Amino acid sequence: MVPIQMVDLKRQYTKIKSQVDAAIEEVLESSAFINGGAVQQFTGELQAYLGAKHVIPCANGTDALQIAMMALGLEPGDEVITPSFTFIATAEVIALLQLKPVFVDIDPQTYCLDITAVEKAITPKTKAIVPVHLYGHVADMEPLMAVAAKHQLYVIEDNAQAIGADYTFQDGSKKKAGTIGHIGCTSFFPSKNLGCYGDGGALFTNDDELAAKIRMVANHGQSARYYHDVVGCNSRLDSVQAAVLRIKLPLLDGYIAARRAVADAYDAAFAGIPQVTTPYRAANSYHVFHQYTLQLHDADRNELQQHLASKGVPAMIYYPVPAHRQKMFEHFGGAAFNLPVTDNLTSKVISLPIHTEMDSDQLEHIIQSVKSFLNTPQS
């Protein structure tokens, strides 16, 4: 059996090696390493895929979040509501810009923002909400956008883990995750569902004025070359990474289908086992399974992780310390935030390998390894 990886990028690359190598060589031959043709072509292709009016590429997903907040004109002291159960970058950029992160609890099934908790946290200083589409499940955007409209707040979607996911509205219409709020942000980190071979990111918006501001902020605040209207930064997706992403974008839906097939197999194997809760899939969210994350009950996840490692199965505990309990946020009130669902879930979750190249032998070995730890009859 091929050694199991959380994400097997080498096997994925092997399947598309000739196309990727040719695309990179084309960039090298052109020597247009910054803002080359590959960047412009990928930008247009991603716009078409997402149904977004504007896509602005940047250097990474963290930059995307920072640029979004700068483009919206948020000022020091403004409050930004966000979940604590997320990768630290979501809240880190809020603090970096001298804004105030306001942590709210999450839905115990989806792990995404609890809309009721969001509305309770709104104050006269609140200016924006940052929902996170955690693990590939889309937050419940329709009621969230209604709350935002009611209180005249911006919504910045952290879509680093859910690119390609669909959200279905009550009228049956659909939109891609990241295109529903005022600005969507994503990461092309190599392990993402759509990943490049280095760092990369992008912002999405359907607002022409916002798009112009985002482009300025991401390019030293320039409205024209050497004319700097606002304080900005330098954040670009390079041509080599764009060339890789151009090859992988047409494969994204297939990659998502492969991940969902692995998730389906896990769901079936672990159904009815009292010690585990499998990932919830809301009817209005097409889960793209960036991660497959179990909740454990009456079982020690560290011991499970060690047991799986002894069987050659990697498993990850993502975000074991939620943002509101991190030392970096102590001066914002930190642990004073009452987030019982977040605290409970971050102590119970563990993620199993899931990727596009997983074969049936690997999948069966992972399933049996989990079941052997839980003393569950094996197939």
The catalytic residues are 192
Exposure on the CB side of residue 347, measured as CA atoms within 13 A? 10
Tokens of 245: 């992403």
Is 209 exposed, middle or buried, given 0-12, 13-18 or 19+ CB atoms closer than 10 A?
exposed
Specify which residues 166 forms β-bridges with.
176
Longest dimension (CA), the chain: 69
CB-based contacts of 244: which residues, under 8 Å, 6+ apart? 20, 23, 24, 196, 197
Q: Which of 300, 320, 266, 318 is nearest to 373 (CA)?
A: 300
E strand or H helix at 116:
helix 115-121
- What values do phi and psi take at 241, rounded to 5? -65, -40
Do 292 and 351 touch, CB atoms closer than 8 A? yes
For tokens 């911006």, what's the residue?
154
Residue 345 Cα to chain centre, angstroms: 18
Query: Burial letters for 56-78: b for 16+ Cβ neighbours within 10 Å, e otherwise?
Result: bbbbbbbbbbbbbbbbbebeeeb
